[in-house]
Amino acid sequence: MKKMVITLLSLTIAGSMLAACTNKAESDTTEQVLRIASAFGNDEDFIREQYTQLFELANENIKVEVITTENIGGKSIEDPSDPDGSKVKSSLDIMMDLMEGPNPPDVVLLGAEQIKAILSKNLLAPLDAQINKTKFDTTDIVPLVLESLKSFSEDGQLYALSPTFNSSALIYNKQMFIDAGVTDLPRDNMTWDEVFALAKRLTHGDGADHKYGISLSSQSNDGMLYELQPYIQPLQLHMYDELGEKMTVDTPQWQDAITTLSQLQKDKIIPSGDNPPKGPLDYDDFLSGRVAMAIVNYGQLEQLNNANKNADAIKGYTKIDWDTVTVPSFPEAPGVVANIGFNSLMAINAKSTNLETAWKFLEFSNGEKWAQLKSHSTYQMVARKKYIQPQLGIDFNIAAFYNNIKQAPMFDNNKLYREKTNIWVIDQIGQNILQDIITNKKSVKEALVEWETKGNLVLQKIKENPNAEIDPSLYQSDDPNNQAPGVHWGG
């Protein structure tokens, strides 16, 4: 029944969108072609369903051509530096070739990890003039979103819009506070020290009954290296410099951060990821009831809601009474948090000869009616604050995901991972030495010195030959379970 109501609502809104555009477009009878290129690697049907179908219905004289980097696959674009065709181009390289090619796309759909590289080549048109000309309303766009979009460029102008976004919050289990006898619930705008002090009070029990105070990722099996990210990214601590030539971990700032988090893990306030799964939800520290608080992504709430909805059918699961507050921050960087995500950035190619139509698409896809239609998404939020609403009508502090927080400066290491394919070894070395700290094999200082030394050997080897094989003794661990997560961890 609920799905039917949502479908009817979608059709009603879509109908009103079409009606609003019909009179305006009556005089626009000349057929136009709008070329939209996607760097997401999705197929054309997905792009049309997610981004272009409603626009085409509302603008019958505009024909949308969709180009995806997946369709090209790096095979139809010749690379002069690779005459034998052995090197497969990345989706970003393919996109930039398309944008500078003889028949360039008008609109490009990008990920946040790609836009800076494209901006560095001056391939995007600034949007401020079109925003002012059409009086496009940006006042209802979440400030976090608008400021994050501006931060992508060095001149502070808008070069892209995003109809949706994702972020994180601190979730807490109310019953676990009661069980621990703690009456002070988390609140918005807490510092990390305040949250860690609260987590210590929530930690109790022995063996299989032990309850942890907090998890920084809710899935501690990813390893400490990954769990560090929300804590150290606001401090702008990186493993190596922007060129990927010199390690930067043997510093007092790194030592303070690692000392704090490793001690929390030694004191069993933070889980170590060595809990053997016993039930269907044991992969998640929060859903399993092991931790009282955890940093979660907005999209993870769907798992929690589904678990609560089906609690009677899940063996060993007790429905969780929960709420959220903002992710904690540092006094020297109040409100600055990590894990703000954009996976649907829309921008205009600077070489487009169809600027007005391209802007019409951005204006439509980032407008109020579109936000109203897409506001029922369960894995991301719409950028227009008016239409952000809790999933399934559940009453919780959804503003914790976007209010009074700012995006931590991002370390763009994607170019390094493309050009220096073995730089991932630095992650694995870090995972190994962090584990040595937890098991008291090394002091924090000793471990960071070793990470710095081994890392510099790897970086020098890669500098001499980007595809050089790395000596396994530098990064292999005696523990087969001690593997770095398969993600790019932000340099």
Task: Give the tens place of pLDDT for each residue, 132-187.
Answer: 999 999 999 999 999 999 999 999 999 999 999 999 999 999 999 999 999 999 99
Q: What is the pLDDT of residue 417?
A: 82
Handedness of CA 374, 375, 381, 385 (dihedral sign): positive
Alpha-carbon radius of gyration of the chain: 24
Q: What is the pLDDT of residue 6?
A: 40
Question: What percent of the chain lies above the pLDDT cut of 90?
Answer: 64
**Strands annotated E in 94-211:** 107-110, 164-165, 168-173
Most confident of 191-200, 281-290, 409-418, 475-484: 191-200
Q: What is the pLDDT of residue 184?
A: 97
- Asked if 322 and 368 sit in the same domain, the reply is no
The pair of structure tokens assigned to 165 is: 């976004």
- Asked if 141 and 24 sit in the same domain, the reply is yes
- Asked if 367 and 463 sit in the same domain, the reply is no
Are 434 and 227 in contact by the 8 Å Cβ rule? The answer is no
- Alpha-carbon distance 255 to 277, whole Å? 32
Does residue 311 lie within any of the structural domains?
Answer: yes
Does residue 408 lie within any of the structural domains?
Answer: no
Q: How many other C-beta atoms are found inside a 10 Å radius of the C-beta of residue 439? A: 12
- Asked if 161 and 178 sit in the same domain, the reply is no
Residue 10 predicted with pLDDT over 70: no
Q: What is the pLDDT of residue 16?
A: 52
Residues 6+ apart with CB under 8 A from 53: none
Residue 68 predicted with pLDDT over 50: yes
- Alpha-carbon distance 249 to 430, whole Å? 10
- Asked if 284 and 433 sit in the same domain, the reply is yes
- The domain that holds 191 is classified in CATH as 3.40.190.10
- Asked if 289 and 365 sit in the same domain, the reply is no
Q: What is the pLDDT of residue 113?
A: 84
pLDDT tens, 376-427? 776 889 999 999 988 777 899 999 999 999 999 877 777 788 788 889 999 9
Per-residue confidence band for 5, with pLDDT thresholds at 50, 70 and 90? very low
- Asked if 327 and 454 sit in the same domain, the reply is yes
Mean pLDDT, range 231-252, rounded to an integer: 95
pLDDT tens, 428-471? 999 999 999 999 999 999 999 999 999 999 999 999 988 888 88
Q: What is the pLDDT of residue 28?
A: 58
- Asked if 176 and 243 sit in the same domain, the reply is yes
Q: What is the pLDDT of residue 46?
A: 87
**How many structural domains are present in the chain?**
2
- Asked if 61 and 120 sit in the same domain, the reply is yes
- Alpha-carbon distance 436 to 451, whole Å? 11
Between 90 and 115, name the one with better pLDDT: 115
Residue 485 predicted with pLDDT over 50: no
Q: What is the pLDDT of residue 484?
A: 45
pLDDT tens, 102-131? 999 999 999 888 898 899 999 999 999 999
- Alpha-carbon distance 469 to 421, whole Å? 10
Q: For 53, which DSSP code?
A: H
Q: Taking the model in full, what pTM does it have?
A: 0.87
Q: What is the pLDDT of residue 276?
A: 61
Does residue 185 lie within any of the structural domains?
Answer: yes
The number of helices, as runs of H, and strands, as runs of E, in the chain is: 19, 12
Most confident of 212-216, 375-379, 482-486: 212-216
Give the length of the chain.
491
- Asked if 258 and 354 sit in the same domain, the reply is no
Mean pLDDT, range 239-259, rounded to an integer: 96
Mean pLDDT, range 356-367, rounded to an integer: 97
Domain containing 268 equals 168-336+413-474
Does residue 129 lie within any of the structural domains?
Answer: yes
Summary mean pLDDT of the chain: 86
Mean pLDDT, range 250-260, rounded to an integer: 97
pLDDT tens, 327-357? 999 999 999 999 898 978 999 999 999 999 9
Q: Quick one: which H or E segment has residue 379?
A: none
Per-residue confidence band for 87, with pLDDT thresholds at 50, 70 and 90? low
Mean pLDDT, range 251-259, rounded to an integer: 97
Cα–Cα nearest to 488, from 422, 409, 407, 414? 414
Does residue 479 lie within any of the structural domains?
Answer: no
- Asked if 351 and 282 sit in the same domain, the reply is no
> Could you write out the DSSP letters of every residue in 310-348?
TGGGSTT--PPPEEEEPPPBBTTBTTEES--B-S-EEEE
Does residue 486 lie within any of the structural domains?
Answer: no
Per-residue confidence band for 75, with pLDDT thresholds at 50, 70 and 90? very low
Q: What is the pLDDT of residue 394?
A: 87
